[in-house]
Amino acid sequence: MTNGVPVTDTGLAGDFDGDDDVDGNDFLLWQTGGSPNGATAGDLGVWQSHFGEVASAPAVSAVPEPSTLLLLGCGMLGLAGRQRARSMRIFAP
């Protein structure tokens, strides 16, 4: 409990079932006495004030796929080869 507010392992107050959101399932758990203090008005108040909240996900950064880099490299080699062949035709005796 933090300042009289029940907190689950996720750190999300009112998430009595530990599924990282405060929803109707948590209310059903409260009704059956499954909240930290049983079916008390305090736990109901916590659930009501945090209803709809979702635990934040960790930030994820985009990583390019190796196949994308390979495709880019092949395209650049193809363009360079085409340019070289074109320049050799122009200067051929």
- Confidence grade of residue 91 (pLDDT, cut at 50, 70, 90): low
More confident residue, 64 or 7: 64
Q: 3-state DSSP call for residue 87? A: helix
CA neighbours within 13 Å on the CB side: how many for 45? Answer: 7
Asked whether residue 8 carries a pLDDT value surpassing 50, the answer given is: no
Taking CA atoms, 45 is separated from 10, 50, 52, 66, in Å, by 19, 9, 14, 51
CB 13 within 8 A of CB 50: yes
Domain ranges of the chain: 1-55
Please state, as a whole number, how many other Cβ atoms lie within 10 Å of the Cβ of residue 90.
6
Segment 28-71, tens digit of pLDDT: 888 888 888 888 888 888 888 888 888 887 667 777 678 888 89
